[in-house]
Amino acid sequence: MRRVLAPLAGLILFAVTACGGTAAESNSSGSSSDDSSTTGDGVANETVPQCPFTAEQVSELVGQEMHDDGHCLWRDKEGIAMVTITMSTSSSGALTYDYQRSNAGETFKRVTELQNVDKGYIAVKDIGAEIVVISKAGSYTMNLSSFDWDLDKYEQTSRAMLDKILH
């Protein structure tokens, strides 16, 4: 059990620090107070993208009213259906991509590779979808869950959200 938990704990710790650092480094909006840093040679690293949607935009994309419930988190009026988006730099997303993709293949009913991005996939099952995309603009992990949809509707909505982010 320890062999499984230690790498998972390390991955979670890396993801938290890569996506915004410690609580002391965050400002009141929850984003890092300095979204970019420089390497030893003075070249600026990538920045973490901002949340790409408002509650109104998410509501329009999913076809029902969604309420803002935190940083890039929306829920329906019953608090059941949910959309979340986690953003990170392209390089941070690339470090965890293989792990996420492997898990998606085991967890979701259908996984489709995305074209026209550095790396990405849409994974769907009867109760949700996961969209992971790594592009030059940054890395996004989107989760949609507990909507009363079939696999095709989850994939269609996921693609619509992805199109809005990438264009």
- Position 130 scores a pLDDT of 98
Q: Is residue 85 part of a domain?
A: yes
- Helix segments in 42-166, DSSP class H: 55-62, 90-107, 151-166
Q: Is residue 77 part of a domain?
A: yes
Q: Is residue 64 part of a domain?
A: yes
Per-block average pLDDT, block size 10, for the chain (167 residues)? Answer: 44 42 34 40 64 96 95 95 96 94 96 92 97 92 96 96 90
The residue range of the domain holding 83 is 55-139+152-166
Q: Is residue 63 part of a domain?
A: yes
Q: How far apart are the first and last CA of the chain?
A: 44
As a whole number of angstroms, the distance between CA 158 and CA 167 comes to 14
Tens of pLDDT, residue by residue over 56-99, are 999 999 999 999 999 999 999 999 999 999 999 999 999 999 99
As a whole number of angstroms, the distance between CA 46 and CA 43 comes to 10
As to burial, measured by CB atoms within 10 angstroms (0-12 exposed, 13-18 middle, 19+ buried), residue 112 is middle
As a whole number of angstroms, the distance between CA 157 and CA 129 comes to 9
pTM of the model: 0.72
As a whole number of angstroms, the distance between CA 87 and CA 97 comes to 13
Q: Is residue 34 part of a domain?
A: no
As a whole number of angstroms, the distance between CA 97 and CA 116 comes to 16
Q: Is residue 6 part of a domain?
A: no
Q: Is residue 23 part of a domain?
A: no
Q: Is residue 101 part of a domain?
A: yes
- Position 17 scores a pLDDT of 38
How many domains in the chain?
1
As a whole number of angstroms, the distance between CA 97 and CA 24 comes to 27
Collapsed DSSP state (helix, strand, coil) of residue 5? helix
